Amino acid sequence: MTAPWRKPCPPGQAAREAAGLRWLAGAGGCRVVRVLGAEDDLLLERLSPRRADAPAAEALGVALARTHAAGAPWWGAPPPGTEGDGQLGAAALPTPSTPPAGWGAFYAGWRLQPYLRAARDAGTLDAAASQELDRLLSRIADGHHDHDQPALVRSSGHVAARLHGDLWSGNVVWTGDPVEAVLIDPAAHGGHAETDLAMLALFGLPHLEHVLAGYHEASPLADGWRERVALHQLHPLAVHVLLFGDSYVAPLLQAARRAAEGRGRDSGAVGPGW
């Protein structure tokens, strides 16, 4: 039997991440790395990476649509059993203690403002950049950028989709024969399905166009989704500004301007394959 992968975790993190993985696995969509133990460290099944191919990518899109459609009870809702601990998964995202009024209030108040405020306090964002971003945040919080979920989420009756929450390409492991995608390292919570898709595009994913085709076939995306890619990439870019500094300020401001103008990939949105 292959030895499990032992992932060292800060105090409390193993249980949170295990809860997120089990919540995602319970959706019956994407394959998620199996949890073998969650005491001080996280014990996971060991995966043998392979090269992605188009059929596996399309299957990931279909599976991700089903995961999203499993839903969450409210915007920002954490996996069951982790309520009230203040953060989510590997990315340690803050979680609201009560349901926000809408997606815009959640996204602006819990996914953008904490990171932008910290970056401003650290001196990474100057006054002009902060003022520009604050104007956009105000409009997002007021609901001016709210939009429909994909079809399967809407028909499920859930307001919020069940998100991986940190779905960049490094958290998709291609493995097996035939190849399939396995998700790792979530910050699972209730959010907008387009956020996971935009994150996949931010740093590039092999065969992303096939992922999107499979997703859209299974759960058609709401009109104008391409124009909202930059909007959904604001959060990871804000996190990168805080963590890595000045080099991400220009991409953040570019994405903010595209989000404000409603422009998507065809006009130069961040991320390949859109």
Torsion, Cα 186 59 194 251, to 10 degrees, reads: 80
Whole-number Å distance between alpha carbons of 141 and 136: 9
What residues are annotated to the active site? 166
Closest CA to 231 of 152, 165, 139: 139
CATH of 47-267, one of 3.90.1150.10, 3.40.1400.10, 3.30.390.50, 3.90.1200.10: 3.90.1200.10
Token reading at 212: 């999107």
Q: pLDDT digit string (tens) for 53-110?
A: 999 999 999 999 999 999 999 999 999 977 655 554 445 678 888 899 999 999 999 9
Which pLDDT belongs to residue 99?
A: 92
Task: For strands 5-7 and 42-44, give the pairing.
Answer: antiparallel
Q: pLDDT digit string (tens) for 174-228?
A: 999 999 999 999 999 999 999 999 999 999 999 999 999 999 999 999 999 999 9
Q: pLDDT digit string (tens) for 29-47?
A: 999 999 998 888 888 999 9
> What secondary structure letter does DSSP report for 49?
B
